[in-house]
Amino acid sequence: MINRGQIHIYTGNGKGKTTAALGLSLRAVCAGKKVFFGQFIKGMDYSELKASEYLPGFEIKQLGRDCFIFNDPTEDDIVAARKGLNYCKDIIVKGEHDLVVLDELNIALYYKLFTVEEVIKMLEHKKEETEIVITGRYAPKELVDLADLVTEMKEIKHYYKEGLEARKGIEF
């Protein structure tokens, strides 16, 4: 029990889910751990994609299609997301990373790009010591039940309501 890797979920409508996962990744890398950070829904050219240049032990990969889903996901979105899920499954099965982040996986589920059953099956392959973080709004109840830690980022105020656009280094 002592060294068992835990399953975290960062969800909710407030800012801070992906950045919390990045903060934890930084801490883990600085403790000499290996991190895999998979990003399911690509929205922008996120600055963190360059993190491997700065942080040995940090591996980041965009999974899914090269554009944001605005309406109904297309067959291409589904194929790409499923490929991404398989990639993460291989990472989890191999167990070479101490921390595996599945960023925006909840959003991929929300868009029904794959099913929660498939995600639970993937998590069953987790090695005892691997720590897992899942982020994204709308975490489904099945994952909340399964997780060891669930944090909800709740929006109290957000400057986007004042019309401030996403800024490089802050939002992406």
> Which residues of the chain form contacts with Mg ion (CB under 5 A)?
17-18
Of ligand ATP, Mg ion, none, which one sits near residue 153, judging by CB under 5 to 8 A according to partner kind?
ligand ATP
Rounded to a whole number of angstroms, the minimum distance from the CB of residue 32 to Mg ion is 26
Report the C-alpha gap between 22 and 17 in whole angstroms.
9
- Which letter does DSSP use for residue 113 in this model? S
Between 89 and 137, CB nearer to ligand ATP: 137
Rounded to a whole number of angstroms, the minimum distance from the CB of residue 59 to ligand ATP is 19
110 makes contact with ligand ATP (CB under 6 A): no
Site string for ligand ATP, 4-43 (x = CB under 6 A): -----------xxxxx------------------------
Rounded to a whole number of angstroms, the minimum distance from the CB of residue 106 to ligand ATP is 9
Report the C-alpha gap between 88 and 114 in whole angstroms.
13
Window 130-169: residues binding ligand ATP (CB under 6 A): 135, 137, 153, 160, 166
Residues 6+ apart with CB under 8 A from 153: 10, 11, 12, 13, 14, 15, 16, 17, 20
Residues 6+ apart with CB under 8 A from 130: 5, 92, 95, 97, 98, 99, 100
Rounded to a whole number of angstroms, the minimum distance from the CB of residue 95 to Mg ion is 25
Instruction: Identify the bridge partners of residue 9 per DSSP, sorted by sequence position.
Output: 134, 150
Report the C-alpha gap between 7 and 52 in whole angstroms.
24
Task: Give residues in contact with ligand ATP (CB under 6 A).
Answer: 15-19, 135, 137, 153, 160, 166, 171
